[in-house]
Amino acid sequence: MREITFSQATLEAMDEEMSRDETVFVMGEDIARQGGIFGQFKGLPQKFGFDRVKDTPITETAIVGAGVGAALAGMRPVVDMHFADFMGVCMDEIFNQMAKIHYMFGGQKTVPVVLRAPDGLINQAAAQHSQSLEAWFMHVPGLKVVIPSNPADAKGLLKSAIRDDNPVLFFEHKALFRMSGPVPEEEYLTPIGKAKVVREGKDVTLVSYSLCFNTCLKAAEMLDKEGISVECVDLRTISPIDKNTILESVAKTTRLAVVHEAVKQGGVGAEISAIVAEEAIDYLDAPIVRVGAPFTPVPFAKPLEQAYRITPEKVADAIRKMF
């Protein structure tokens, strides 16, 4: 199978969906003239025109508000947030408008808008351009939240998100844009709300998503050499969470570790831990382990940033303590 980058995979998804459906368009800062800061929109304005690939002013409130309005008017907008950190500027449009309109109007209108939100640590982007804020949105009914870990799922999930009649937040880790991986050439969709057991094991279930899932795969390889068999579950979607896949895996392995780059306190790991504690505690042979970032803003200094990062060694060490 051919290999392309995460950025190219999302570009293919945009190209295919814009070709398939003329109501799909994209808008955001610097995407028409620049092609996006990660090249994820390169060439789209030349193919589809500047009416369907729109540069916007630097005002997140107006960008998301316009996206909600366009969705209500029958379009399928894809809104680029530039950096996920900037979503705080337009929170009212996200959690009070796009998330609630379908419910408040008795299902008379749908809001098929996708917010693409590059997040996560890259080199010294510091506290306002490095955050992982996905757990905020798990708490909001009416939003779907997807977070791919590889190019194939990035393409499949983005296509599914664009076709979904609900608002979807599409978090894409900035460090993944250059990652290459196998991506089918034929048409396919990755289902929203379905996790995937990528690596089977028998001793411990390791649940993660986004860039950290790849970190977990490296940790699993390290532990395999020590005789610890790790089952790796890629969530792919954190709202809705695929409880069944997680619970089935925990029933098999009797141990659970959850890993994410976001701050450990109040994170996705806390929700998954609670689900397992409520519904499968009798299966557990050891306390649940969570690995996440410390409760501090992302530092700028390189040594501090490295200490903040989730590494395979940190994940492996946390799992060793379970035995």
Instruction: Retrieve residue 86's tokens.
Output: 């900037």
In whole angstroms, give the CA distance from residue 217 to residue 212: 9
- Under the banding of pLDDT at 50, 70 and 90, the label for residue 9 is very high
pLDDT digits (tens, 9 = 90+) for 71-114: 999 999 999 999 999 999 999 999 999 999 999 999 999 999 99
Selection from 260, 262, 270 nearest residue 296 by Cα:
262
- DSSP string of 70-135? HHHTT-EEEEE-SSGGGGGGGHIIIIIIITTHHHHTTTS-----EEEEEES--TT--TTSS---HH
The residue-averaged pLDDT of 255-274 equals: 97
pLDDT > 90? residue 282: yes
pLDDT, residue 37, reads 80
Selection from 6, 83, 3, 90 nearest residue 37 by Cα:
83
- Under the banding of pLDDT at 50, 70 and 90, the label for residue 32 is confident
pLDDT, residue 36, reads 82
Instruction: Give yes or no: residues 205 and 253 share one domain.
Output: yes
CA 101 to chain centre: 23
In whole angstroms, give the CA distance from residue 82 to residue 71: 20
The residue-averaged pLDDT of 141-168 equals: 98
Q: Give me the percent of the chain exceeding a pLDDT of 90.
A: 94
pLDDT, residue 39, reads 82
pLDDT, residue 34, reads 83
The residue-averaged pLDDT of 44-48 equals: 94
Instruction: Give yes or no: residues 236 and 212 share one domain.
Output: yes
pTM here is 0.95
| DSSP 8-state secondary structure symbol assigned to residue 41 | T
pLDDT, residue 68, reads 97
What CATH number is attached to the domain comprising 214? 3.40.50.920
Instruction: Give yes or no: residues 60 and 144 share one domain.
Output: yes
The burial of 81, by beta-carbon neighbours within 10 Å (0-12 exposed, 13-18 middle, 19 or more buried), is given as buried
Instruction: Give yes or no: residues 130 and 230 share one domain.
Output: no
- Residue 259 main-chain phi, psi, to 5 deg: -130, 135
Residue 260 forms part of a structural domain: yes
| DSSP 8-state secondary structure symbol assigned to residue 312 | H
Residue 17 forms part of a structural domain: yes
Instruction: Give yes or no: residues 205 and 161 share one domain.
Output: no
- Under the banding of pLDDT at 50, 70 and 90, the label for residue 21 is very high
pLDDT > 90? residue 62: yes
pLDDT, residue 269, reads 97
pLDDT digits (tens, 9 = 90+) for 213-254: 999 999 999 999 999 999 999 999 999 999 999 999 999 999
What CATH number is attached to the domain comprising 74? 3.40.50.970
Q: Which domain holds residue 300?
A: 196-320
In whole angstroms, give the CA distance from residue 7 to residue 176: 8
- Under the banding of pLDDT at 50, 70 and 90, the label for residue 1 is confident
Which residue among 158, 182, 206 closes a domain? Answer: 182
Which residue among 182, 216, 234 closes a domain? Answer: 182
Instruction: Give yes or no: residues 167 and 89 share one domain.
Output: yes
CA atoms within 13 A on the CB side of 253: 32
CA distances from residue 195 to 213, 242, 319 in whole angstroms, order as listed? 12, 6, 21
Instruction: Give yes or no: residues 227 and 260 share one domain.
Output: yes
CA 48 to chain centre: 27
Residue 279 forms part of a structural domain: yes
The residue-averaged pLDDT of 148-161 equals: 98
Instruction: Give yes or no: residues 68 and 31 share one domain.
Output: yes
In whole angstroms, give the CA distance from residue 143 to residue 153: 19
pLDDT > 90? residue 53: yes
The residue-averaged pLDDT of 269-288 equals: 97
Residue 273 forms part of a structural domain: yes
Residue 187 forms part of a structural domain: no
Average pLDDT, the chain: 96
* Whether residue 129 lies in the annotated active site: yes
Contact between residue 183 and residue 212 where contact means Cβ atoms under 8 Å apart: no
How many domains, the chain?
A: 2
Contact between residue 155 and residue 147 where contact means Cβ atoms under 8 Å apart: no
Residue 189 forms part of a structural domain: no
Residue 122 forms part of a structural domain: yes
Active-site choice (129, 139, 173, 260): 129
Instruction: Give yes or no: residues 162 and 208 share one domain.
Output: no
Instruction: Give yes or no: residues 46 and 172 share one domain.
Output: yes
Cα angle for residues 85, 88, 93 (degrees, 5° grid): 130
Residue 203 forms part of a structural domain: yes
Selection from 297, 295, 291, 296 nearest residue 311 by Cα:
291
Instruction: Give yes or no: residues 128 and 223 share one domain.
Output: no
pLDDT digits (tens, 9 = 90+) for 289-319: 999 999 999 999 999 999 999 999 999 999 9
pLDDT > 90? residue 33: no
The burial of 309, by beta-carbon neighbours within 10 Å (0-12 exposed, 13-18 middle, 19 or more buried), is given as middle
The residue-averaged pLDDT of 159-179 equals: 97
pLDDT, residue 35, reads 83
In whole angstroms, give the CA distance from residue 231 to residue 219: 11
Selection from 157, 149, 152 nearest residue 181 by Cα:
152
Instruction: Give yes or no: residues 140 and 214 share one domain.
Output: no
Which residue among 148, 182, 216 closes a domain? Answer: 182
